[in-house]
A = this chain, B = another copy of it.
Amino acid sequence: MPRNTANPPETITAEGEARQHTRDALLDAAEVLFSELGVDGASLRAITARAGANLAAVSYHFGNKEGLVRAVFNRRLRPINEERLRRLTALEDAASPEAPDPEGVLRAFLEPVVRFGQESSEEQMRFRKLMGRTFAEPGEVMRQRLRDQFQEVGDRFPRALARAFPGLEPGIILWRFHFMIGSMVQVALHGALIAESSGGACDPTHGEEVIGRLVEFLLAGFQAPSTGASGGKQRPSKGEASTAAPAIFAWEEGF
């Protein structure tokens, strides 16, 4: 298994208080540069320079660049997806045995991303951009990140949506689930652009506004009836359950 050659203990230097080490400085610097330049665009030299660390520190702490990428994304995505699932579970438990609240499911998916962290809105924007990049980038590394971090979310949310919006086939649910992701990512990646082109009317730095606009739009979209036939081949109609979506979200490979 990919284990680092060494495992540095958390020694305390004489400089700061809680800042445990170079390791965190590297993660922070990498996050900023990844969000601004992309993973490929951010060189280890630029990252270590910004972190005030040495080039070789990356090798020591993360093995190689891919290890650093992995660490940067995991640090953020894990708590986000954990909160998503926690909120979804709470919703389902509260409504059981009825279907969970539709708007609640959407918010459980969107809010942990959009309202990430209580820090500056600049930091929120930056993280959303990083998040968007996870979906937008094509590389093998990114696909791996998605597979690792999204398997449970990508499985349980479509299922919950299928229960919250009965009458929609699983295929339709899946289309719309991806439309939702797309809208979210677009705001994350191009939020500043939206703000600018609106002449100040739209404020993507304001988490509540983003959420509100997204939810009112997406909720209506999900509630739309689906015209059955669309030219394509008919689904083989396997199984009998209309509430359980089968084998949704493999994330395997493909593309």
Contact = CB atoms under 8 A, between A and B. Distances in A.
B178 A190 contact: yes
Q: Secondary structure of the A side of the interface?
A: helix
Interface size class of A (residues with CB under 8 A): 35 or more
B194 A175 contact: yes
A139 B179 contact: no
Copies of this protein chain in the complex: 2
Nearest to A211: B230
Contacts of A251: 193, 197
A47 interface: no
15 contacts: A40-B40, A40-B41, A41-B139, A135-B136, A170-B198, A172-B213, A175-B217, A178-B187, A179-B217, A185-B185, A190-B255, A193-B254, A203-B232, A208-B231, A221-B221
Interface of A: 36-38, 40-41, 132-133, 135-139, 154, 169-172, 174-176, 178-187, 189-190, 192-203, 206, 208-209, 212-214, 216-227, 230-233, 235-236, 246-252, 254-255
